[in-house]
Structure 1
Amino acid sequence: MVTYRTYLPGDEKKITALWNDTLLYDPVTPDRFRRLVLLDANFDPEGLQLAFDNGRLAGVLYGLRRRLPMSGTDLEEGSGWIPFFFVDPEYERQGTGEELMDKAFEFFKKHQVVHVFFSSYAPNYIVPGIDETHYAKGYAFLKKTGFQTLYSPVAMDASLVEFTLSDEIRLLIRERNKEGYVFRKAQDRDLAQLITFADTVFNPDWGRAIREGVPQGLPLDRIWVAYYQDQLIGFCLHGGYEGIPERFGPFGVDPAEQGKKLGKILLHLCLYGMRAEGCHSAWFLWTGEKSPAGYLYRKTGFKVTRKFHVMKKILDDKPFHE
Structure 2
Amino acid sequence: MYRTFQSGDEIGIVELWNEVLAHDPINEKRFLTQVLLDANFDPEGLIVAVDGERIVGAILAITRKLPMMGTDLEPDTGWITFFMVHPDFERRGIGHGLLVRASDYIRKQGAKKVFFSSYAPNYFLPGIDEAAYPSGFDFLLKEGFRRAYSPVAMHRTLTDYVYPEAVKAVKADREREGYIFEAVQDGDLPAVIRFANTVFNPDWGRAIREGLLQGLDPSQILIAKKDGNIVGFAMYGGYKGIRERFGPFGVDTSEQGKGLGKVLLHEALHSMKKRTIQGAWFLWTSEKSSAGHLYLKNGFKTYRTFHVMVKELAD
Give the TM-score range, shorter chain.
over 0.9
**Which residues of 2 match residues 152-171 of structure 1 at below 5 A?**
152-171=150-169
Alpha-carbon deviation of 1:165?
1.1
Structure 1 match to 2:218 = 220
C-alpha distance in 1, partners of 2:296/2:83?
Answer: 32
What is the Cα deviation at residue 105 of structure 1? 1.1
Residues 202-256 of structure 1: per-residue CA shift (max 9 Å, x gap): 0110000011111111110100000011111000000111110100000000000
**Aligned AA for 2:143?**
T
Give the match for residue 80 of structure 2.
Answer: 82
Residues 8-37 of structure 1: CA deviation (Å, up to 9, x unaligned): 011111000000000010000111111110
* Seq. identity, %: 53
CA distance in 2, matches of 1:105, 1:9: 23
Determine helix, strand or coil for the equivalent of 1:49. strand
Q: Name 2:206's counterpart in structure 1.
A: 208
The answer to whether the aligner puts 1:273 opposite 2:278 as a matched pair is no
Q: Report the residue type matching 1:138 in the other structure.
A: G
Structure 1 residue runs without a partner (length 5+): 318-322
2:230 match: 232
Aligned position for 1:57: 55
Cα distance, 1:113 vs structure 2:
1.2
| Aligned residue type for 1:94 | R
Q: Distance in 2 between matches of 1:66 and 1:200?
A: 20
Aligned-partner Cα distance in 1 for 2:169–2:71: 45
Measure the CA separation in 2 of the matches of 1:86 and 1:132: 15
- For this pair of structures, how many residues does the alignment match? 315
- Separation in 2, partners of 1:9, 1:187: 43
Tell me which amino acid in the other structure corresponds to 1:180: G
**Aligned counterpart, 1:36:** 34
Q: In the aligned structure 1, how far is the partner of 2:248 from the partner of 2:41?
A: 24
Alignment of 1:173-184 (within 5 A): 173-184=171-182
Q: Does 1:22 align with 2:40?
A: no
- CA-atom RMSD, angstroms? 0.7
Aligned AA for 2:180? Answer: V
* Inter-partner Cα distance in structure 2 for 1:313 and 1:40: 23
Supply the distance in 1 between the matched residues of 2:134 and 2:92 (Cα, whole angstroms).
18
The equivalent position to 1:263 in structure 2, one of 249, 258, 261, is: 261
Task: Kindly state the Cα deviation for residue 300 of structure 1 after the two structures are TM-superposed.
Answer: 0.9
Farther off after superposition, 206-215 or 263-272? 206-215
C-alpha deviations, 1:34-61, integer Å up to 9, x for none?
1110111111100001000111111001
Equivalent residue, structure 1, for 2:66: 68
CA distance in 1 between partners of 2:258 and 2:160 (Å)? 26
Query: How far off is 1:287 after superposition?
Result: 0.3
* 1:180 Cα deviation from its structure 2 partner: 0.5
Q: Secondary structure at the match of 1:9?
A: coil
1:172 aligned residue: 170
Q: Which amino acid aligns with 1:316?
A: A
The 5 A counterparts of 1:182-201 are: 182-201=180-199
Question: Residue 310 in 1 paired to residue 272 in 2?
Answer: no
**Counterpart Cα distance in 1 of 2:302 and 2:169:** 29
Q: Which runs of 5+ in 2 are unaligned?
A: none
**What stretches of structure 1 move > 4 A for 4+ residues in a row?**
none
For 2:112 and 2:7, locate their aligned partners in 1 and report how far apart those are by CA, in whole Å: 29
Q: Alpha-carbon deviation of 1:288?
A: 0.2
> Mapping of 1:93-172 within 5 angstroms?
93-172=91-170
Amino acid at match of 1:235: F
CA offset at residue 109 of structure 1? 1.5
Quick one: which amino acid aligns to residue 72 of structure 1? G
